[in-house]
Amino acid sequence: MRKISSVVLVHGAWHSPSCWSQVACRLLASGLDVRVPELQSVGPAAGGLAGDAEAVRAALAEAPGETVVVAHSYGGLPVTEVAARAGNVAHLVYVCAFMLGPGESLLSAIGGQEPPWWITSADGRTMMPDRARDIFYNDCSDEVAAAAAAALRPQSRASFAEPLGAAAWQELPSTYVICERDNAIPVFAQEAMSRRARDVRRLDAGHSPFLSQPDEVAALVRNIVAAAAG
């Protein structure tokens, strides 16, 4: 039996590591080491995919033992870029995340057109989401949704346009978690990407199940860790 000691949780666009806090606490309580890297494409630095991939690589390098990596939404891109080269990743988990191939970008995956709810800054370098309550937090309480929306930060436009150079899921076992009430990534798009995964799970949740259903997400991750350990 393999010993999986760590979980790395990767947030998506506009968010920060804190969005994973409830799930992280539950996983820590079960004895797992938990790392939550901060992506460089979010916030004042407004970096690109390469910086995000480096942040994930650094977290994996620090994680003790074999690791399960859990990516949300845009976070699927930097995970896909670097996880296979890390040497300690036992399993990938894509939670309503972009599971793309080499040469694909987030923008190309959605047809090359920016959705109307992406609001571009005056300098054209970053974007903010409009209608976050309805798109990201439709199954959260009003209190949770308001706090989460207030914490959102600008996202680099470049991070959405830069293509992947590698696809870790081609080399590593993976699970795709389809969120049935997601208003950001349509279920049909999640189902199409999930065909690249070896295992598919489903949650009756919106785009942010780590906020609306932290118990269920933590239990799902623990289950995948146990299965990956054999």
Q: How would you write the pLDDT of the chain (230 residues) with one tens digit per residue? A: 778 999 999 999 999 999 999 999 999 999 999 999 999 999 987 799 999 999 999 999 999 999 999 999 999 999 999 999 999 999 999 999 999 999 999 999 999 999 999 999 999 999 999 999 999 999 999 999 999 999 999 999 999 999 999 999 999 999 999 999 999 999 999 999 999 999 999 999 999 999 999 999 999 999 999 999 88
What's the pLDDT score for residue 2?
Answer: 78
Structure tokens at 76: 């699927």
pTM: 0.97
**Is residue 112 helix, strand or coil?**
coil
DSSP state of 189: H
Q: What angle do CA 230, 95, 198 make, to 5 degrees?
A: 45
What's the pLDDT score for residue 44?
Answer: 80
What's the pLDDT score for residue 229?
Answer: 87
Cβ atoms of 129 and 118 within 8 Å: the answer is yes
How far apart, in whole angstroms, are the C-alpha atoms of residue 123 and residue 196?
A: 37
What's the pLDDT score for residue 46?
Answer: 77
How far apart, in whole angstroms, are the C-alpha atoms of residue 193 and residue 187?
A: 10
The dihedral built from the CA positions of residue 173, 185, 81 and 10, taken in this order, carries a sign that is negative
How far apart, in whole angstroms, are the C-alpha atoms of residue 35 and residue 29?
A: 14
Cβ atoms of 66 and 90 within 8 Å: the answer is yes
Cβ atoms of 152 and 132 within 8 Å: the answer is yes
Structure tokens at 48: 């690109």
CA distances from 136 to 34, 146, 162, 194, 207 (A): 24, 11, 23, 20, 5
Report residue 186: phi and psi, to 5°: -55, 150
